[in-house]
Chains A and B, each alone.
Chain A
Amino acid sequence: MADVTFTVDGKKLTAPAGTLLIDACRTAGIEIPAFCYYPGLSLQAACRMCVVRIEKMPKLQTACTTPVAEGMVVQTETEEVKQSRKAVLELLLGNHPLDCPVCDAGGECELQDMTFKYGAGESKYIETKQHREEQKWSPVVYFDRPRCILCYRCVRVCGEGMDVWALGVQNRGVTSVIAPNGGDHLGCEECGMCIDICPVGALTSDTYRYKTRPWEMNHVGTVCTHCGDGCKTTLGVKRSNDGMEIVRGDNRDKSGINNDFLCIKGRYAFDFANRTDRLTTPLVRQADGKLAPVSWEEALTFAANKLNEVRSNRGGNAIGVIGSNRTTNEENYLLQKFARGVLGTNNIDHHRTADYAAFAAALKGKANREASLRDFISAPAMLLLGNDPTEQHPALAWQIRSNVRQNRARLYVANHREIKLRRQAKAAVELPQDGYASFISYLAGNDGAFTGNDANDFREALRKEESLVIAFGSEFRGRDIQALVEFGLSMPNVKFACLGDYSNSRGAADMGLLPDLLPGYVPVASEHKFAEETGIEWPKQPGLDLVQMLDAAGSGEIGALYVVGANPVARYGVDPSALKNTFLVVQDMFLTETAVLADVVFPAANAYEKAGTITNTYGDLQLVKKAADKAGVRSDFELIVRLADKMGADPKKLVPFGKGVRADFGQSRGAQSGEADRHAVWLSANHLEPKLSPFDPFAIFDEIQRLVPSYNVPRLNLLAGNDEHVKSELVQIDTTGSRRDLVLPANDGLYTSGTLGRYSDKLAEVLASKTTEIAETAAD
C-alpha cells in the first residue's frame, strides 16, 4: 500500500497506509506501552495503556487500533497521556498482589516495568485485595488468578495462534476470569505459549516456578535438540554443584526461525540434561561381565587398543560406525572422517528419517529451490503432502497457521490421515496410505492415476498458483521425491521442503554419515578433494549400511561397532545376543538399551552442552551455543579426537587446528561458548593464534566450508546467531544410481522425542496425564 506521512512527537515518520500507529511508532523507535496488544494477534484494545493524543480527535486514542493517516499529528508522552496511563496502572494494581519478590515474573514483568516508569505507588483504593489460591491446570501450566490483568493475550495465542482454543474468559467486569476448557484443568497441546506471552506472572510453568530469579541466570540462545525444525530456544542456566544446570527454556529471543513459537519440547524437555542417572564416568566391561567405572585414560586406551586390534587383524571393514541424529555437523563430519581416515572403512550410517540423499539428487544444480522454514511464514500458497506437522513439526505448523491467518495464504493438504492442519486448508484431499506417488502423477496431468472426490478441484486450484512451497513427509522416498520435484518444477516459483525427524538428521546426511556418500553427497568412489586436502587415504568401496552392519555384527563379519549418540538396539529391535561377539563402543548420556550391551561406554555431552552448527530439516544452518555444563562428560567431538589420538592417528590431520589456514575470530563467540571457545578467547587475549585446540569445532567447520560447497555460506551472520540456508544446489551427488530405501520415520508426537524423550521426566508426566485423560473420556 501507498505510504503516508505523519508526525509523532515532532518527528516526521512514514509508513504504509493501514499500519497500526503502535507498530509504526515502535518501528521508528518510539516505545508505546501496551499489555493487550501483541503483534500478529487480533486486536483487543482492552488495557488502555497505549493511549496517545492525536490532534483533531476527541479524547485519547488507542494506538493499537488506530491506523496511521496522512498528516496525523501524534503526541505519545504528554502529561495528559502519562496521567491516563498512571490511572490505568492504579486500577490494575487495585487487586494485583504485590508479591513481586516471590513472583516468577519479577524482574521481567511488564506491569512492574510500567509501574516503575509511570509510578502509581499510592492508590486511592483501600479495599482489601481479593485473594484466590493458585490453580494447577496441567502438568505444565499454573494459574495465579489475582495476578491476572485480563489482557487476553493467552486466550488469543492459544486460540488464534495455536488453534487449540483451550482458554476463554468467563463472567464480566471485575469478576472476569481466564478459564480453561476442562473446567479446572486444560485439555491442550501443552505448548506453554500462554505462559511465555503472559505480561505478568499469572501463568507460570511447573518447571520454572519458584526456582530462581531471572537475574540469577545466564541466558544462552541456542537451538532446540528435539525435532527437525531447529527452533531457537533461550536456556536460562545457573551454577549447580556439578556444572551449569538448565533451569528454564523459553523463547525470549524472538529472532529465531520459529518467530514467537516454541513447543513443549523446546520449552520444558531440557530436563534430560539434569537427570541424576546421567553417565559421568567412562565405563568398561570387566572380567565378571559387568560395566564398571574406570579412568578416562584406561577407557580410551582400552577402546583404542581393541579397535586397533580389529583393524590390523581383520581390516577396517570389520569395523562399523553408527552416528547420531542430534550431534553437530562438525561432530558428524569428524566422525565420518575418523571412520574413513583412521578406521579405514565406509561402514558408516545413521538412523535415516527422511531420504535426504534422494532430495539432494533431485535438487542438484537447481538454485533457490529449497524452502527455508522462514518461507512458510510468507509464501502465498503452500502444499503439504503427508506428514502431520502439528505433531511432528510444531514450528512448521505454527508458521503455516500464522501465514494463513495473517496473510490469507492458501494451504493445500493431501494426506492419508485427518490431520489438524486441514482446518486451515483451502482444499484437502484424502489419499490412501500408499497413494502419494500416484497422486503426484495425477497432479502432473496423468488423469488416470488417481480418482477422488475433490481431486479435480484441488488440482485446478493448485495449478493456478503462481508461487508455491511444497513440504513433504517421509511418505516420499527415492524416485517419488524425484517425481515430485519434477512435477513442482513444471510450475513457476516452487520451493520444496523435505520433512525429517530429529534436530540434525539433515546434518548427518549432509555430512556423510552414509556408507556410499561423503560430505556434500560426494560418491565415495568418485575423485574428490577430501584426500588431497587431508592427506588421508579415503576408502573407495561403499560400505555397509546400518541394517547390514547390524546383520554383519550378528553373523560375526563385523568385529567392532562404534556407536555415537544413537540407540540402534531399541530402534531396530536388535536381539542383544546378536552383539555379544562384537566389541561395542558407545558414546551416550544414558545407559540406553545399546549402551548397556557395550564393552566401553563414554559419557557424552548433549547439544545444550557444546558449540557447533546444526542443520534443520529445511536446510537452515544455525549455531548451537554451549549453555549447560556437566562435570564428567565430554563432547562427542572431543571423544572422537581423543580416541583417534589413542589409536595413533595424527590429531592434526583429523582436526586442522593451529595451521593458520583461516583465522577464526574467537571474540565473535562469547566466553560461554564451550571449552574450546574459552580457550580461544584466552588465546586471543594473550595475543596467540586462536584455534590451537584440537577440540575446536570451528577448525572442522573451516574444513567443511572449504570442502563442502553447499555449506560455504556467509559466516558472520551465522556467528551473530542467525540462520543461513545451505546452498542445496551445490551437492555433488551422482543422480543415476538407485539406493536402498532405509528410511525409518521416528513417528514422534508432541510429547515424544525418540530415546532422548524417554529421559525427559516432564514429557513422561505430560504423556501420562494425556493417557489418563483419554481413559477418562473413554469411560464417559
Chain B
Amino acid sequence: MATEKRTIFSPELAARFDRLVTLYPVKRSALVPMLLYSQDEVGYISPEVIVELADRLDIRTNDVESVLSYYSMLRTKPVGKYNVQVCTNISCMLRNGYGILEHCKKRLGIGHKEVTPDGLFSLEEVECIGACCWAPAVQVNYDFYDDLTVEKMDQVLDDYQAGRGKVTV
C-alpha cells in the first residue's frame, strides 16, 4: 500500500513507517517517532517530510508543524555533518561547560545553531543531556564525550575533522 506510493524516504524507513502507524490505537500517535527517524535520515525536517508524514497519518501539515515546533530537538534547517551539542546546564556549567562552548565557538568560528561554511560542523548550546555525573559533557550527533577539558575537546574536534569519528575518550 503505502510502500507503493512515492516516498522521499529509503525503502527501509518507509517500511518501518508503514508498520509504525499500525502500532498505536490512534494513527497520529506515531508522529513523534516518525519525526525523529525522518530527521536521522534526512538530516532535518524538510517541508517534503512534513507533507509525507501528514499524508501517512491522515492529518494536516499544520498539525505536523504544531508538534514539530514544540520540540527543540527537531530541526527545520540542515545542520553540519557533525552536530556538536554542548550542555550548559547546572552540573556542566559548574564544571566549565561555558568554557567548552566558548572554545568551540572560537575554534569553529560559528555561534549557537550555526553551521561552518564547509558544512562539516554545527554548534548548539543544549539543555541537560543526562550526563551530569561526568560533567562537562558534549554530544556530537549521537556520540557522548564527557569529563571534558578544552584540550580534550580540541582532540574530539580534530578526530572528526580528520574523519576518524569517535576514537577519543
The interface of chain A, by Cβ under 8 A from chain B, is 165-172, 179-181
User: Is A168's CB under 8 angstroms from B62's CB?
Assistant: yes
Contact with A along B128-158 (1 / 0, CB 8 A): 0000000000000000000000000000000
- A176, chain B: closest CB distance, angstroms: 9
Docked Cα-Cα span, A168 to B69, in Å, equals: 11
Among B62, B65, B69, B70, contact of A165 (Cβ-Cβ < 8 Å): B62
Whole-angstrom distance from the CB of A156 to the nearest CB of chain B?
A: 13
Collect the chain B residues with CB atoms within 8 Å of residue A165's CB.
59-60, 62-63
A180: B residues at CB distance < 8 A: 62
Q: Are B70 and A172 touching (Cβ within 8 A)?
A: yes
B residues near A166, Cβ cutoff 8 Å? 62
Give Cα A1–Cα B89 distance, bound, in whole angstroms: 51
Which residues on A sit within 8 Å (CB–CB) of B60? 165, 168, 181
Residues of A within 8 A of B69 (CB): 170-172
Q: B96 contacts the other chain (Cβ, under 8 Å)?
A: no
A166 to B70, CA, bound (A): 18
Chain A nearest CB from B95 CB (Å) reads 28
Add 17 more A-B contacts to A169-B66, A170-B66, A170-B70 (CB < 8 A): A165-B59, A165-B60, A165-B62, A165-B63, A166-B62, A167-B62, A168-B60, A168-B63, A168-B65, A168-B66, A170-B65, A170-B69, A171-B70, A172-B69, A172-B70, A179-B65, A181-B61
Which residues on the A side are within 8 Å of B70 (C-beta)?
Answer: 170-172
By beta carbon, the residue of chain A nearest B61 is A181
Query: What are 13 contact pairs spanning A and B, CB under 8 A?
Result: A165-B62, A166-B62, A168-B60, A170-B65, A170-B66, A170-B70, A171-B70, A179-B62, A179-B66, A180-B62, A181-B60, A181-B61, A181-B62
Q: Which residues of B contact A (CB under 8 A)?
A: 59-63, 65-66, 69-70
Residues of A within 8 A of B63 (CB): 165, 168
C-alpha spacing A179/B59, complex, angstroms: 16
**Majority secondary structure of chain A interface residues (helix, strand, loop or mixed):** strand
> Across the interface, which residues of A come within 8 angstroms of B66, CB to CB?
168-170, 179
Chain B nearest CB from A513 CB (Å) reads 45
Q: Nearest Cβ in chain B — how far from A174, in angstroms?
A: 13
Q: Quick one: closest A residue to B58, CB to CB?
A: A423
Q: Which residue of B lies closest to A165 (CB)?
A: B60
Chain A residues, CB < 8 A from B65: 168, 170, 179
In the complex the two chains form, what is the Cα distance from A647 to B118 in whole Å? 94
Closest CB in chain A relative to B11 CB, distance in Å: 28
CA distance A168 to B60 in the complex (A): 10
Residue of A nearest to B72 (CB): A172
Closest residue of chain A to B60, judged by CB?
A165
Smallest Cβ-Cβ distance to B64: which chain A residue = A168
CA distance A548 to B61 in the complex (A): 54
Which residues on the B side are within 8 Å of A179 (C-beta)?
Answer: 62, 65-66
Q: Which residue of A lies closest to B70 (CB)?
A: A172
Q: Compute how far the CA of A724 lies from the CA of B66 in the bound complex, rounded to whole angstroms.
A: 45
**A169 CA / B64 CA spacing, docked (Å):** 10
Closest A-chain residue to B71, C-beta based?
Answer: A172
Q: Once the chains are docked, how many angstroms separate the CA of A98 from the CA of B66? A: 29
Q: How far is the CA of A170 from the CA of B64 in the complex (A)?
A: 10
Q: How far is the CB of A235 from chain B (nearest CB, A)?
A: 33
User: How many Å from the CB of A691 to the closest CB on chain B?
Assistant: 57
A171: B residues at CB distance < 8 A: 69-70
Determine the residue in chain A with the shortest Cβ distance to B68: A170
Contact partners of A167 in chain B: CB under 8 A: 62
Would you give the shortest CB distance from B150 to chain A, in whole angstroms? 33
Q: Which of A167, A168, A172, A180 has most B Cβ within 10 Å? A: A168
Chain B residue contacts of A172, Cβ below 8 A: 69-70
B14 CB, nearest partner CB in chain A, Å: 25
Residue of B61, B62, B65, B70 ringed by the most chain A CB atoms within 10 A: B62
A170 to B59 Cα, complex, angstroms = 16
CA distance A169 to B65 in the complex (A): 9
Q: How far is the CA of A168 from the CA of B63 in the complex (A)?
A: 6
Nearest CB of chain A from residue B37's CB, rounded to whole Å: 22
B63 (CB) vs chain A CBs: closest residue: A168
How far in angstroms is the closest Cβ of chain A from B119? 27
Listed from nearest, the 6 A-B pairs whose CB atoms lie closest are A168-B66, A181-B62, A170-B69, A168-B62, A172-B70, A171-B69
> Shortest distance in angstroms between B25's beta carbon and chain A's nearest beta carbon?
15
Q: Give the docked Cα–Cα distance between A171 and B63 (Å).
A: 12
Which chain B positions have C-beta within 8 A of A181?
60-62
Q: Quote the shortest CB–CB distance from B16 to chain A (angstroms).
A: 26
Assembled-state Cα–Cα distance A181/B59 (Å): 12
CA distance A400 to B63 in the complex (A): 24
Q: Give the nearest-CB partner of B67 in chain A.
A: A168
Chain A residues lying within 8 Å of B59, measured Cβ to Cβ, are 165
CB distance from A424 to the nearest CB of B (A): 14
Q: Which B residues touch A168, using CB under 8 A?
A: 60, 62-63, 65-66
B61 surroundings in chain A (CB, below 8 A): 181
Cα distance A766–B57 when bound, in Å?
A: 31
Could you tell me the distance between the alpha carbons of A171 and B68 in the complex, rounded to whole angstroms? Answer: 8
| Alpha-carbon separation in the docked complex, A222 to B69 (Å) | 44
**Complex: chain B residue closest to A175, CB-CB:** B69
Residue of chain B at shortest CB distance from A167: B62
User: Which residues on B sit within 8 Å (CB–CB) of A169?
Assistant: 66
| Distance, CA A170 to CA B65, complexed state (A) | 7
Cα A181 to Cα B54 in complex, Å, equals: 13
Of all chain B residues, the one with the shortest Cβ separation from A170 is B69
Q: Which residue of B lies closest to A166 (CB)?
A: B62
A621 to B: closest C-beta gap in Å = 40
- Nearest CB in chain B: distance from A118 CB, A: 30
Complex Cα spacing A180 to B65, Å = 11
Query: Closest Cβ of chain B: how far from A510's Cβ, in Å?
Result: 43
Considering the complex, give the chain B residue whose CB is closest to the CB of A177. B69
Tell me the bound Cα distance from A600 to B55 in angstroms. Answer: 59
Question: How far, in angstroms, from A180 to B70 measured CA to CA in the complex?
Answer: 16
- CA of A325 to CA of B110 in the docked complex: distance in angstroms? 71
**Residue among B60, B63, B66 with the highest chain A CB neighbour number at 10 A:** B66
Q: Which among B61, B63, B69, B70 has the greatest number of chain A C-beta atoms within 10 A?
A: B69
Question: Whole-angstrom distance between the alpha carbons of A165 and B28 in the complex?
Answer: 14
B113–chain A nearest beta-carbon distance, Å: 15
In whole angstroms, what is the CA distance A170 to B63 when docked?
9
